[in-house]
Amino acid sequence: MSGSDPVNRRQFLGKTSLLAAAAAVGGASKVGAQLNDSAAVSLKPVRLGFIGVGIRGTLLMEAAAGIAGVEIKAAADCYKGHLARAQELVTPVPAVTGDYREILSRADVDAVMIATPDHWHLKMTQDALAAGKHVYVEKPMTHAWEEGEAFIEAVEKSGKVVQVGSQYVSMGCARKAAALVKSGQLGRITLVEGRLHRNSATGAWYYPIPPDASPATVDWKRFLGSAPPHDFDLRRFFQWRLFWDYSGGLPTDLFVHIVTATHQLMDVQEPESVVSFGDIYHWKNYREVPDQMTAMVRYAEGFVLRLSSTAANGHPGPLLTFYGSEGTLEYGGDSFKHYYEPRTENFSYSTHSWPKATTARFKELMGLNDNLAPLDGPEVAEPVEYKSPNDEDSTRAHVRSWIEAIRTGGKPVEDVRFGHHAALVGHMCNLSYKAGRPVRWDRTTRKVEV
């Protein structure tokens, strides 16, 4: 935290750790059996194991527990407190382990959900597929762009349903907004703006450290895995998004949401080039990744995506704005607003230096009104706002689609190619930031050129 902050880092972590501990002790309601109603009897059961039940993994577990016919059998994590919480939340109580391989060896687990730090995603997915399990892997799918092809190869060989966990694909208004863009009502879209800002310590990933965290409750060596060796550090374990060894920072955590939605609505996948700028402007302590990033992404389809995220301002605004020659779309996932804004002409500015007689003659020839605008110009229309009638949480909707694909043998709503390309934009942002110059994606060689 910056020197001007009223609460320093030690005070913040101490206070929030106590609050987290108090919340964990009191009022832990169970989910699971009571949410799976009688309809589950007629459904083919899908038995799940969870690899990583930290912040996001716990939310995924709760979402899955509310889907009829889903049975949660086991959970793995490197912090014993996460495992205890999983057993508090789910009925029947799942088995727990510190070794994810034990879950993969279980005959009563059909599929796994992976919500670990990014550097584990590829290895765990490969191991799960080799064990014959379907996979849901959280975004960003990859920790480095080079992992994308390995993901695709493993999935294609397996024949299993593998879905990437970018829940914006399953937002309530996603399909309707995509249809609007495809219809051409916005005209030619040449600029898309995406923003995702936060203004809090937790939003900047300074997550509280549990008061019982220690070498006795945290398996540090297993957490590191293939990452570079490092001395035991609870900040790295619980605040791993702050460090390059396990995370891609803002571009792969927050930008990926924006990119996912852009690719979905614009019906594109691969970027052409990226240039980005970032730095640590506000949270000047032990973090390695920037707390602010701005990037421009160019697409061969003929538009530019402008991305921005800061951890020092939380002003609300649309997640995405699509600017077309005939209108504008402000998109938030569960709602959007469509502005009809066709091109209009007004010659009052450009003819102000003409003699009155010349202007009058021009007005007559062009069929202009007294304001020197075309008489047959488009009518002004009020913006149209649409809100999703579906109140289901997007995370549960995303998980549900994966479960249904497993049951039916169908395809995931977000496959690994889509997930690879969404994460690719984030990786290219980081490469540009570190190199200080634009980077390109070669569709032929399937490589980033720095």
Per-residue model confidence as pLDDT tens digits over 7-21: 344 443 344 333 333
Q: What is the pLDDT of residue 327?
A: 96
Per-residue model confidence as pLDDT tens digits over 29-82: 455 444 444 454 578 899 999 999 999 999 999 999 999 999 999 999 999 999
**Would you say how long the chain is, in residues?**
450
In this structure, the number of other CB atoms found within 10 A of the CB of residue 146 comes to 13
Q: What is the pLDDT of residue 316?
A: 86
The answer to whether domain 19-171+393-415 and domain 174-342+421-449 are alike in fold is no
Q: What is the pLDDT of residue 433?
A: 98
Q: What is the CATH number of domain 19-171+393-415?
A: 3.40.50.720
d(CA 99, CA 222): 8
- % the chain with pLDDT above 70: 91
Q: What is the pLDDT of residue 351?
A: 95
Buried b (16+ CB within 10 A) or exposed e, 167-178: bbbbbbbbeebb
d(CA 261, CA 334): 12
> Does residue 276 register a pLDDT over 90?
yes
Per-residue model confidence as pLDDT tens digits over 406-424: 999 999 999 999 999 999 9
Q: Which tokens in the block code for residue 173?
A: 């208004």
Q: Which tokens in the block code for residue 407?
A: 């049951």
> Does residue 5 register a pLDDT over 70?
no
**Boundaries of every domain in the chain:** 19-171+393-415, 174-342+421-449
Q: What is the pLDDT of residue 82?
A: 98
The mean pLDDT value for 300-305 works out to 98
The mean pLDDT value for 107-125 works out to 98
Q: What is the pLDDT of residue 314?
A: 93
Q: What is the pLDDT of residue 343?
A: 84
Per-residue model confidence as pLDDT tens digits over 340-358: 988 888 999 999 999 999 9
Q: What is the pLDDT of residue 27?
A: 39
d(CA 166, CA 416): 11
Q: What is the CATH number of domain 174-342+421-449?
A: 3.30.360.10
User: Of 205, 78, 227, which is closest to residue 143 (Cα–Cα)?
Assistant: 227
The mean pLDDT value for 114-119 works out to 98
CA 433 to chain centre: 20
Cβ atoms of residues 241 and 205 within 8 Å: yes
**Radius of gyration in angstroms for the set of CA atoms belonging to the chain, rounded to a whole number:** 25
d(CA 393, CA 106): 30
* Alpha-helix runs per DSSP H in 46-160: 55-65, 80-89, 100-104, 121-130, 148-158
102 φ, ψ to 5°? -65, -35
User: Of 150, 134, 142, which is closest to residue 64 (Cα–Cα)?
Assistant: 134
> Does residue 22 register a pLDDT over 70?
no
For the four alpha carbons of 68, 74, 78 and 82, in that order, the dihedral sign comes to: positive
> Does residue 105 register a pLDDT over 50?
yes
DSSP sequence for 265-316: HHT----SEEEEEEE--S--SS--S-SEEEEEEEETTTEEEEEEEESS----
> Does residue 380 register a pLDDT over 80?
no
Q: Which tokens in the block code for residue 206?
A: 């300074």
d(CA 1, CA 235): 14
> Does residue 2 register a pLDDT over 90?
no
DSSP sequence for 138-195: ESSS-SSGGGHHHHHHHHHHH---EEEE-GGGG-TTHHHHHHHHHHTTT--EEEEEEE
- What angle, 0 to 180 degrees and rounded to 10, lies between the N-to-C axes of helices 416-435 and 256-266? 130
The helix/strand count (H/E) of the chain reads as 14, 18
pLDDT range class, residue 376, cuts 50, 70, 90: confident
Residue with tokens 């549900």: 400
Pick from 8-22, 71-85, 238-252, 298-312: least confident: 8-22
Residues near 36 by Cβ (< 8 Å), separated by ≥ 6?
Answer: 65, 66, 67, 68, 69, 70
Per-residue model confidence as pLDDT tens digits over 129-184: 999 999 999 999 999 999 999 999 999 999 999 999 999 999 999 999 999 999 99
Q: What is the pLDDT of residue 381?
A: 80
250 φ, ψ to 5°? -55, -45
Helix (H) / strand (E) element for 264: namely helix 256-266
d(CA 67, CA 391): 15
d(CA 264, CA 171): 11
Q: What is the pLDDT of residue 41?
A: 54
The mean pLDDT value for 253-263 works out to 98
Q: What is the pLDDT of residue 6?
A: 35
d(CA 307, CA 305): 6
